[in-house]
Amino acid sequence: MNYCGRFAPSPSGPLHFGSLIAAMGSYLDAKKNHGNWLIRIEDIDPPREVAGAADKIIDTLDRFGFEWDEPVLYQSTRYTAYQDALHELQKEKLLYQCICSRSDIQAHGLQGVEGAKYPGTCRKRGFDNSTYAPQRSALRIVTGDQPISFVDGLRGTICQNIAQDIGDFILKRADGLFAYQLAVVIDDAYQGITDVVRGADLLTSTPRQIYLQ
């Protein structure tokens, strides 16, 4: 498969130095491997977005000399694909509605690798269309109690058991917005991404994304 990399900023502000480093890392890795390099604007969280930030980010990348091989993909144009994926998971009985608040979850005191781990309280609710209240419930995916490992180019082998380290995670938020974990997986597949170079803050997200893949 031909190498295809990407840079996928969220337009929550101008391109900061750390993001520029991530962009450069993925760009150079793509070039070294004679691959393509794409830009995807992850604009699926309007409350966190800053007007004009997406254009500014693209303009900054352009001024630094980056060149991308396809038109920029905006996640705000991809809602149908995300919803279709949720339907598939629902059919497989892998989704359930969750009405827990942040404080409900914290009250259980289960520590995961990213703060409070979801204790699975609503798993028994399943997905019941008759009571489905999209304004109030988030959608979580049932996670398996098995290790997921991958080899990171810098950190080596990373292994995580999602059920133990994170818990069932959210794919659609209670406010109706699609979760980053879902959108990133759907679009990495859609764009044919073969290699991901990004900030180390996302290292613990990778196993969830592999699980969804």
Query: Footprint of ligand GLU on this chain (CB under 6 A)?
Result: 8-10, 42, 184, 198, 202
At how many degrees (to 10) do helices 79-91 and 180-190 cross?
100
CA distance 197 to 168: 26
Pair type for strands 36-41 and 138-141: unpaired
Q: How many residues does the chain have?
A: 213
Q: Is 10 or 160 the residue whose CB approaches ligand GLU more closely?
A: 10
Identify the residue whose tokens are 């997200």.
205
Nearest approach, Cβ of residue 113 and ligand GLU (Å): 17
Q: Is 73 or 100 the residue whose CB approaches ligand GLU more closely?
A: 73
Nearest approach, Cβ of residue 42 and ligand GLU (Å): 4
101 is written with which tokens? Answer: 């608040």
Nearest approach, Cβ of residue 123 and ligand GLU (Å): 27
CA distance 21 to 128: 45
Whether the CA torsion 10, 68, 28, 212 is positive or negative: it is positive
Nearest approach, Cβ of residue 198 and ligand GLU (Å): 4
Closest listed residue to residue 30, CA positions, set 207, 196, 203: 196
Closest listed residue to residue 115, CA positions, set 182, 169, 155, 152: 169
Nearest approach, Cβ of residue 77 and ligand GLU (Å): 16
Q: Is 16 or 93 the residue whose CB approaches ligand GLU more closely?
A: 16
Q: Is 100 or 182 the residue whose CB approaches ligand GLU more closely?
A: 182
Q: Is 113 or 202 the residue whose CB approaches ligand GLU more closely?
A: 202
